[in-house]
Homo-oligomer: A and B are copies of this chain.
Amino acid sequence: MCFTPRHFSWILFMFLLTLQRVAPGGEAGVWPMPRKMSEGSERYALHPQGFSFRYGRDSSAQLGCSVLDAAFRRYFALCFPENTKIFNDDFNIVSFVIVMLCGTCKPKCLFLLILQRYSGLESFSQLIYQDDSNTYYINKTEIEDFPRFQYRGILLDTSRHFLPVRTILKTLDVMAYNKFNVLHWHVVDDPSFPYQSQSFPDLSNKGAFHPQSHVYTQADIRKMVSHARLRGIRIIPEFDSPGHTQSWGKGQPGLLTPCYKGLHPSGTFGPVNPTLSTNYNFMGRLLKEVSTLFPDPYIHLGGDEVDFSCWKSNPDVRMFMKKMGFGTDYGKLGSLYFKNMMNIIETLNKTSVVWQDVFDYHSSPKSLDVVEVWKAGCYMCEVRRVTAAGVRVILASPWYLDQVLIYFCAGSGTEHQKRLLIGGEVCLWGEYVDGTNLAPLLWPRASAAAERLWSDEAQTSSVSQAYPRLAAFRCKLLRRGVQAQPLFVGHCKHEYEDL
């Protein structure tokens, strides 16, 4: 059996290493911290020339499972950085398989029992270390692990700056090292529209920074989705509306609301015009295309920071409000917009995510699927309000990387409410971020959040205990070529060098 992870489950995996004993003395540590891990002092030499990952006889997956075959090639390179070329093949997901590892140190073999997926290989690779003579070792280790939250995300913003495809692919690699499993892709926004639509090519022809060099083609997106899938990562696209849509207006006349100054149009435009059925037709066709490209069951509809003032200024909108009996409550107009949008999403058999703003102005907030809480202040109050309405929550507030990182205290409310908090995500907004600085801004700061989202809260509450482990993990990232910035004064055995 060879499958790809679409839905999430609480997962258990375990290493059982029984190997020829060599000598004591490991370093290592695994980031994020596993639920249970006992590392013995017996260490075993691993010889890259004679080492291989093999499928166990009882393994449900066998040779020919392309996802896993590729994972073995990739993790071979990650385990033995000095002895391997980089394999560009894809990899991932081990499901109830036994993997057998044999070194040259026969006759005994290393048995790796993995009761779940990529995280097993990742943790295994982090346990391997080198002594001063560069011999590779692993200590006898037993691990039992599963994630705290099913949703462990990172938001990237490709509208304020264009991120090269290669930068995004590399970020997906490092996400897998950190056991992140969701890329929330904030594709478009006011400054630019880099998504190249087949149905509406003018959106990027006129709305991207550049219609050829600063767009994501459908082929680019398929490549990203595939790259992510093989690493156990979902990509959730966000097409934020009705606000944050200035760039859309260039290629889709009539979409945005003309703002008025007194009796005359001011020449500027506001949010999507919610009074026109043509706009819902357009949205339906665009999102249908998007939902085909992105297999993930979630689509993020945005909905944050809708400025009602332009709607208020427009006489047609005011007339519509009157006709609908909305009075002067423009939240009702926003609700209507989202009801229509969610109908579209429903016909596409998808689940919608919206920013917390929609929950706050929506007239029937209980009808929402998933709400993402992003505002600072008492964000756990907002989480409780949303879960009390029986709606699932993704929490982003504590992990806006332009702010100071704080640890959040999860799970207040009833047990049912706690279960509705499905996870959280790190938001790297794009005002000051592009391919030049994304990696050092993201890593290892997002790694701290990765542990909050994966590991047991009680076991990881001490920052002073986490520090050396995170510093060691950051050195491992350097060894893998990731431009992860330092935590503080210190050094790694292998420093980053831009060659």
Residues of chain A touching chain B, judged by Cβ–Cβ distance below 8 Å, are 160-162, 164, 166-167, 170, 191-192, 209-210, 213-214, 430-437, 439-440, 478, 483-486, 488-491, 493, 495-499
Q: Decide: A497 near B435, CB < 8 A? Known: A430-B489, A491-B210.
A: yes
Q: Decide: A431 near B498, CB < 8 A? Known: A440-B436, A440-B437, A440-B440.
A: no
B491 touches A214 (CB 8 A): yes
B488 touches A162 (CB 8 A): no
Task: State the CA gap A490–B210 with chains docked (Å).
Answer: 11
Chain B residues with CB under 8 A of A486? 161, 432-434, 436-437
Chain B residues with CB under 8 A of A491? 161-162, 192, 209-210, 214
A161 touches B434 (CB 8 A): no
A495 touches B434 (CB 8 A): yes
Interface of A is mostly: loop
Closest residue of chain B to A433 (Cβ to Cβ) is B486
Task: State the CA gap A166–B496 with chains docked (Å).
Answer: 11
Closest residue of chain B to A163 (Cβ to Cβ) is B495
Chain B residues with CB under 8 A of A499? 166
Cβ 8 A contact of A485, one of B160, B164, B436: B436
19 further contact pairs, Cβ within 8 A, besides A209-B491, A432-B485, A432-B486: A161-B490, A164-B495, A167-B497, A213-B493, A214-B495, A430-B489, A431-B488, A434-B486, A434-B495, A435-B495, A435-B496, A435-B498, A436-B439, A436-B478, A436-B485, A436-B496, A437-B437, A437-B486, A439-B498
Query: How many chain copies?
Result: 2
A210 touches B485 (CB 8 A): no
Task: State the CA gap A432–B487 with chains docked (Å).
Answer: 6
**Closest beta carbon of chain B to A216's beta carbon, Å:** 13
Chain B residues with CB under 8 A of A191? 489-490
A167 touches B498 (CB 8 A): yes
Count chain B CB atoms within 10 A of each CB in A166, A431, A478, A485 and give the residue with the most: A485
Closest residue of chain B to A488 (Cβ to Cβ) is B431
Chain B residues with CB under 8 A of A484? 436
**Closest beta carbon of chain B to A433's beta carbon, Å:** 7
Task: State the CA gap A170–B499 with chains docked (Å).
Answer: 10
Chain B residues with CB under 8 A of A164? 495-497
Chain B residues with CB under 8 A of A498? 166-167, 170, 435, 439, 483
Count chain B CB atoms within 10 A of each CB in A162, A164, A192, A489 and give the residue with the most: A489
Chain B residues with CB under 8 A of A493? 210, 213
Chain B residues with CB under 8 A of A170? 498
Task: State the CA gap A164–B497 with chains docked (Å).
Answer: 7
B488 touches A437 (CB 8 A): no
7 intermolecular pairs with C-beta atoms under 8 Å apart: A161-B486, A162-B495, A166-B498, A209-B491, A213-B493, A214-B495, A434-B485
Count chain B CB atoms within 10 A of each CB in A162, A440, A484 and give the residue with the most: A440
Task: State the CA gap A191–B486 with chains docked (Å).
Answer: 14
Task: State the CA gap A491–B194 with chains docked (Å).
Answer: 12
Task: State the CA gap A435–B439 with chains docked (Å).
Answer: 13
Closest residue of chain B to A160 (Cβ to Cβ) is B489
B209 touches A483 (CB 8 A): no
Task: State the CA gap A489–B430 with chains docked (Å).
Answer: 7
Task: State the CA gap A439–B436 with chains docked (Å).
Answer: 9
Task: State the CA gap A497–B170 with chains docked (Å).
Answer: 11
Closest residue of chain B to A487 (Cβ to Cβ) is B432
Return the 4 tightest CB-CB contacts between A and B, nearest first.
A209-B491, A437-B440, A437-B485, A160-B489
Chain B residues with CB under 8 A of A431? 488-489
Chain B residues with CB under 8 A of A213? 493, 495
Task: State the CA gap A160–B487 with chains docked (Å).
Answer: 11
Task: State the CA gap A490–B491 with chains docked (Å).
Answer: 35
**Closest beta carbon of chain B to A371's beta carbon, Å:** 27
Chain B residues with CB under 8 A of A161? 486, 489-491
Closest residue of chain B to A497 (Cβ to Cβ) is B164
Task: State the CA gap A432–B192 with chains docked (Å).
Answer: 33
Q: Decide: A434 near B497, CB < 8 A? Known: A489-B160, A490-B161.
A: no
Chain B residues with CB under 8 A of A439? 436, 498
Task: State the CA gap A386–B166 with chains docked (Å).
Answer: 52
Chain B residues with CB under 8 A of A490? 161, 191, 209
Chain B residues with CB under 8 A of A478? 436
Chain B residues with CB under 8 A of A433? 485-486
Chain B residues with CB under 8 A of A192? 491
**Closest beta carbon of chain B to A25's beta carbon, Å:** 19
